[in-house]
Amino acid sequence: MSYILRVMAGTPAVAIIGAGRLGSALARELSHAGYSLAEVVARESVASLKKARKIAKPLHARAATIQNARFGAGLLWLCVPDREIAGVAHELAASSRLKGPQWKGKVIFHSSGALASDELNALRRNGAAVASVHPLMTFVDGSIPSLRGVPFAIEGDRAALRLAKKIVKALGGEAFAVRKKDKAAYHAWATFCSPLLIAALVTAEQAGRIAGFSPARARRNMLPMARQTLANYAALGPARAFSGPIVRGDAAIVRKHLKVLKNNPEVRAVYLALARSAMFHLPVRNREKLRKTLLR
């Protein structure tokens, strides 16, 4: 049995490259799923290596930099910023410790949602099987989410995808295929799910400021309704979760909103964009009156 088939058949040791939020979450979840963590590889800086040690120590792994990493693991998972993926791949391919044929049989993942597996071509050309494996989840300081139930978008070489599906299943997630040409569109969609959702909420805080509330007070008062809205969206779908003057077709109230928001053009622009989206994509009454109000 070839080395790569042995990797596919078993649970290969994993090296995480990148000691940030995603790398930390993956290291913990992979360990819980029965995968041995061999190394956490960080940048040369003291701060990065400190983060790598913090991740590696409780998982009985080694903290290293690219310059002194052993790279003996069957799977290397790059958790570095998108702009660095191709550069790290070239650096690994040029490593004097892992020249040419020594990459053959290894599997390399990167975790970019926007970029395809071709970012790893330098390693693919040296015999590695490569894939992009992106968890559809948000990772921020102070919160390490479980990956159970999380969808993972996967794309790449057949052998690497076989391993990706196996690992995602072990993590309790669900793998789904995305085409190379669709990666940017997929990531734009994903951006609506969390970063732009936060942007909408912080815009709501600014609308609260117009009404006389501090951002902290606005946030506190908003949360019960925001939580219930997400619960309704999950349980009932968008149409039945939608409420307020737009669904009622109350153009007079919408005009009042737009008038009071005139002195804050950024907030008004977001209101208009979302209201227009609602008008086009959700069931609303008095659509023609709303159209005249929102599109003039």
Q: How many other CB atoms are found less than 10 A from the CB of residue 10?
A: 11
pLDDT in tens, the chain (296 residues): 444 444 445 688 999 999 999 999 999 999 999 999 999 999 989 999 999 999 999 999 999 998 899 889 999 999 999 999 999 999 998 875 555 457 888 999 999 999 999 999 999 999 999 999 999 999 999 888 999 999 999 999 999 999 999 999 999 999 999 999 999 999 999 999 999 999 999 999 999 999 999 999 999 999 999 999 999 999 999 999 999 999 999 999 999 999 999 999 999 999 999 999 999 999 999 999 999 999 97
Which residue type sits at 274?
A: L
| Token pair belonging to 293 | 């109000």
**pTM, entire model:** 0.90
Q: Which of 292, 60, 10 is nearest to 166 (CA)?
A: 10
User: What's the chain's Rg over C-alpha atoms?
Assistant: 24
Which fold is adopted by the domain 3-181? Rossmann fold (3.40.50)
Which residue type sits at 67?
A: Q
Q: How does strand 129-135 pair with strand 151-156?
A: antiparallel
Kindly report the CA angle at 120 between 119 and 126, in degrees rounded to 5?
Answer: 145
Q: How does strand 62-65 pair with strand 75-78?
A: unpaired
